Amino acid sequence: MARRTRRTFAPGVGMLLLAVIFAIGCRSLDKPASVSFASVILSNTYNMAQIQEATMTVFQQNGYQNVPQPDDALVFEREATRGEQISYAGLVGAQAGDKVIIRVRVKIEVRDASTYWLGCKAYAVCNPDQPVFSTSTALLNFQSGPYQKLLDNVKGTLQRPAVTP
């Protein structure tokens, strides 16, 4: 008769796995759900126009194009990388030439007289030129790193002293 053996993990492996899952899942619990993707607080004497200008400059320097909106919202787009195209359009869609863009919606909120909140959310949009067949997928919080860096750059741009000739 064949003997069955039961495979088990070493005692600490299960606890380590749970700790990793908990740490990844709880990374943004200190922020409200609405700001858990990417955001910065701007505290100083900036005004809305300066923040918008710095945001447009940073995004455009990083390959994004400003997409004018009827409500003057800040929206930026860039073509997806090959890897992003495969991830969101699928291997068949990527081979067939399905277009994928990354769209970033930026929001500026006034917190008080001298504090603004600058946040964004990114989406992968498949077939953006075809309104009926267009699909939009929100990027997940663990994918926010590049967008957090962009917002950090906006903050850094605003904090740099102006160069005078």
Where in the chain are the domains?
35-159
Asked if residues 122 and 37 have their Cβ atoms less than 8 Å apart, the reply is yes
Look at residue 43 and tell me whether its pLDDT is greater than 80.
yes
**Mean pLDDT along residues 5-11:** 53
Look at residue 66 and tell me whether its pLDDT is greater than 70.
yes
Query: pLDDT above 70 covers what percent of the chain?
Result: 75
- Higher-scoring residue by pLDDT: 124, 98: 124
Yes or no: domain 35-159 corresponds to CATH 3.30.310.80: yes
- Higher-scoring residue by pLDDT: 56, 20: 56
**pLDDT on residue 154:** 96
Full-model pTM: 0.75
Average confidence score pLDDT of the chain? 82
**Residue range 99-124, pLDDT digits in tens:** 999 999 999 999 988 899 999 999 99
With cut-offs at 50, 70 and 90, classify the pLDDT of residue 155: very high
Look at residue 26 and tell me whether its pLDDT is greater than 50.
no
**pLDDT on residue 32:** 47
**pLDDT on residue 131:** 82
